[in-house]
Amino acid sequence: MSVRRTSAVGTVVLYAGLTIAAIIVLFPFFWMVVTAFKQPGQAFSAEILPSRPTLENFSRVLSEFGFGRYFANSVIVATTAALFATMFATCAGYVFAKKQFFMKDKLFTFLLISLMIPGMMYVVPQFAIINKFGWMDTYRAMIIPHLANVFGLFLMRQYMMTIPNELLDAARIDGAGEWQVFLNVMIPLSIPIIATLFLLTFQFHWNNFLWQLIVANVDRLYTVPVGLAMFKSAHEELYTLKMAGSCISVLPIAVLFFFAQRYFIEGMTMGAVKE
């Protein structure tokens, strides 16, 4: 009986601690959302929930301060980059997982070593290349340099290696060509990891601030993080508007994760088929 009571007390303490930790972590997000719905000038009022909630802050930042255009730029850049980066990583992952070619292991090791190089080391040579090509202030400069994703290749390879070769051989015996094997066998079995990689890549490009600030120096190409930073520096006193802009910046990631969380969790914790 004492053991059960001790176990119950431990469970209560654990859940109480987790609840307090969750409240502490989520409170800044809660304050951001609540402030975004407050009347202008009421950001630091004593009331926790706004007595007269308004959508004026969102309307103003989207129309008057150009966040509608920033949002569209972020959607174009993040979606396009995530789509192509995921596609390239999926194809490369399949090759490294299921094909044999000269110096495959050495080449894969070399690619993994490149992950140890800090990302800031690539900024200068990438900028020099983009400037040489004349791509400054274009969507190409914001998207193309980050389409080669070594981490995505590693993720896809490790996942696809868990898929039994017997499934591929059975498809080939049935007359399937190489593209049919890839599209009809590997892709359906790899949906969880593909969705996971797309989500991670989309999040990276949506939140990417430094590179977009470097290559896009015109207002019409600002993404949400860059536009939000410029807005904050120019309007320090407009707290309700800044919180509305911040809500817009996190909304797509929250919505995307909400709908893809099942694939995200499955892709990060298990293989598609176990032998």
Instruction: Name all domains of the chain by residue range, CATH numbers in brackets.
Output: 55-269 (1.10.3720.10)
Structural contact between residues 90 and 98, judged by C-beta atoms closer than 8 angstroms: no
Separation of alpha carbons 125 and 120, rounded Å = 10
> What local confidence, expressed as pLDDT, does residue 273 receive?
43
Separation of alpha carbons 59 and 68, rounded Å = 9
Written as tens digits, the pLDDT of the chain (275 aa) is 465 666 777 788 888 899 999 999 888 888 888 888 888 777 777 677 777 888 888 888 888 888 889 999 999 999 999 999 999 999 999 999 998 888 888 999 999 998 888 878 888 899 999 999 999 999 999 999 989 889 999 999 999 998 888 888 888 888 888 888 898 889 998 888 898 899 889 989 998 998 999 998 888 899 999 988 888 776 666 788 888 888 888 888 888 877 777 666 665 555 444 44
Here the tokens at position 19 are 């609840």
Report the number of secondary-structure helices (H) and strands (E) in the chain: 14, 0
Helix (H) or strand (E) run with residue 119 in it: none
Q: Give, to the nearest 10 degrees, the angle between helix 239-269 and helix 2-36.
A: 140
Structural contact between residues 94 and 185, judged by C-beta atoms closer than 8 angstroms: no
* Three-state SS at 178: helix
Please measure the distance between the N-terminal and C-terminal CA atoms of the chain and give it in whole angstroms: 44
Residue type, 263: Y
Structural contact between residues 209 and 229, judged by C-beta atoms closer than 8 angstroms: yes
- Number of neighbouring beta carbons within 10 Å of residue 147: 18
Measured torsion, CA atoms of residues 43, 47, 53, 57, in degrees rounded to the nearest 10: 10
> What local confidence, expressed as pLDDT, does residue 92 receive?
93
Here the tokens at position 157 are 């390879």
Q: How far is CA 175 from CA 99, 160, 179, 180, in A?
A: 19, 22, 12, 9
